[in-house]
Chain A
């Protein structure tokens, strides 16, 4: 459905459609699902988004600084907003800092499937944006721990963060 909305957008503004079923997307979906629970509602997804972003922030903040992280965050939301317009409704283009509460409430306000799809697109977009800047190898090096989680347990039983 949202694919139709993007017709005519320049390539640089399109979300990473080509990665929609890529191993990266699958990994990110798993990471999000793991934190949100298997039959999660939009509110659980919103919590998971905040938790996942917190880990990204911890990984990147020491290296690229708050300004760098905020810039990537804003750009990712802008790009992902083409596929999921609700992601960019609240966005402040020149925000000096990341407003996670705003993102959290925006995700929570969606129907569960849209909330999850939008959140995934946001993180995939962010991942690809960083990889386009510093390369896939270094992105993997920096964010590896964020997407990984202990295997073996029932994800739904993991406590929400």
Chain B
């Protein structure tokens, strides 16, 4: 027999929260849920309660002086998790406003103890804590009375063989509140405002006995309650699937496959960089269509206002056939983790092998300002996590044509991609023409030729090697005196 107590962890029913908590809520833990008014404390509590409450694990929800219970019941039932049939059965709401209004905190405590002993619940919620503080102050009681009350409540809660929650309307995290010490878990809900955007964030400041995911994690409150966007890379570091080193994917254009040295190696990330209108999205669509042609499925996150999806019939057909998933990128103030969570869910649902991010420029603009500063780092994590899912990724990147230097990405992310294709405009004989080149294919031979290309109703058509010209990267090539017939080389 093991001498170590086994702590079971409860699945909270809040998507993403269990990952952030490090595997769920420890049973019989005493938790503080803190945050400003409107930060989602009551919703989080109700969501956890309705998810966990059962005939065997009854829940008591004490309302003290916060939101009037009628209002709480009215608004909480707007969420899909609210189950009217559970009320007065596995879930009981108990109002303590009369006891708290008198300012005598011992009456509040007595009543809580009385109800807990009568019901023997597995879950106890007290909503909310700051209300008690204010009631106490209004009565002229010393602050220490409140501290004693909370500490006593905390100690009692620990001994009830119940998983307990104390909601705090407002806390100063630097406050040396004794309840912080008593609590096993401290979940802090925040609202981060930057310019016109507001992003909800959650932090597990403490959770005894288990490794939580540190940092602030974005969450949304929607019809189904809270949804936490746990960083996938940290939560599930997957070992990339072993693939044959010579497994290559067609990008849908035979000549580009040839330039890549026989296609794009499976599990690679490919960056397609180029100026506006150069054909990046067309290549992305071609990459997905090539997969569909051999029975592979794909996922696209189109951040452009008029994504290729709208004009590409092949993509629309794939969506209709259910072989291509489109990530909703229209939600305001996105976070990288939210996009990754959506991508991962669709990849797993479709067992997808190809992912297109179109484009990184639009992606950055779709993020809430608070996440843009870390775009480069989080993009690195996102791509790593996607590769970890076993997919091959094609990203497009808007690149302002600069004829004085050769750059592939304004995000400095060229180093982290396995392959790069660059597209540019050139002026030849008073015409604006397109050219592309394979800049990099990690660990593989590839063409170093600059090839002219056109786009027609069948997609990208690769032309001849632009031989006999020089200064192509400067945008205004000049004809050289002597040319060789076939100067494409493969290194």
Contacts and interface: CB of A to CB of B under 8 A. Distances in A.
Interface of A: 61-68, 72, 133-135, 137-138, 140-142
Given A134-B77, A135-B77, A64 B87 contact: no
Contacts of B74: 133-135
Interface of B: 63, 68-70, 73-74, 77, 84-85, 87-88, 92-98
Given A63-B93, A65-B69, 15 more contacts: A62-B92, A62-B94, A64-B69, A65-B98, A66-B98, A67-B68, A67-B97, A68-B69, A68-B70, A68-B95, A72-B70, A133-B74, A134-B77, A135-B84, A142-B88
A125 B9 CA distance: 46
B95 A138 contact: no
A137 B84 contact: yes
Nearest to B89: A141
A141 B77 contact: no
A138 B70 contact: no
A138 B84 contact: yes
A138 B97 contact: no
B68 A141 contact: no
Contacts of B87: 138, 141-142
Contact of A63 (B84, B85, B94, B98): B94
A121 B224 CA distance: 37
B88 A68 contact: no
9 contacts: A64-B69, A65-B63, A68-B68, A68-B69, A134-B77, A135-B84, A138-B73, A141-B85, A142-B87
Contacts of A64: 68-70, 73, 95
A137 B85 CA distance: 8
B179 to A, nearest CB: 25
B95 A62 contact: yes
A66 B70 CA distance: 12
Which has the most chain B C-beta neighbours within 10 Å: A64, A67, A141?
A64
A137 B88 CA distance: 13
A61 B85 CA distance: 19
A133 B70 contact: yes
A140 B88 CA distance: 12
B107 to A, nearest CB: 14
Contacts, number: 54
Nearest to B97: A65
A122 to B, nearest CB: 19
The binding surface of chain A is classed by DSSP as helix
Contacts of A63: 69, 73, 93-95
Nearest to A63: B93
A57 to B, nearest CB: 13
A59 B73 CA distance: 15
Contacts of A68: 68-70, 95
Contacts of A141: 84-85, 87-88
A68 B97 CA distance: 10
B462 to A, nearest CB: 63
Contact of B70 (A61, A62, A134, A140): A134
Give 10 nearest A-B pairs by CB, closest first: A65-B95, A137-B84, A138-B84, A64-B69, A134-B73, A65-B97, A63-B93, A68-B70, A141-B84, A64-B70
A68 B68 CA distance: 8
A67 B68 CA distance: 9
Contacts of A66: 98
A1 to B, nearest CB: 34
A65 B70 CA distance: 9
A135 to B, nearest CB: 6
A138 B92 CA distance: 12
Contacts of B95: 61-65, 68
A138 B77 contact: yes
Contacts of A65: 63, 68-69, 95-98
A27 B98 CA distance: 32
Nearest to A64: B69
A11 B314 CA distance: 55
Contacts of A137: 84-85
Contacts of B94: 62-63
Contacts of B63: 65
A64 B96 CA distance: 9
A40 B458 CA distance: 88
Contacts of A133: 70, 73-74
A59 B63 CA distance: 16
A64 B93 CA distance: 8
A138 B72 CA distance: 13
A75 B96 CA distance: 23
A98 to B, nearest CB: 14
A113 B324 CA distance: 69
Contacts of B73: 63-64, 133-134, 138
A66 B482 CA distance: 98
A135 B78 CA distance: 10
B473 to A, nearest CB: 67
A134 B77 CA distance: 8
B386 to A, nearest CB: 43
A65 B72 CA distance: 13
Nearest to A72: B70
B427 to A, nearest CB: 68
Contacts of B92: 62
A72 B68 CA distance: 13
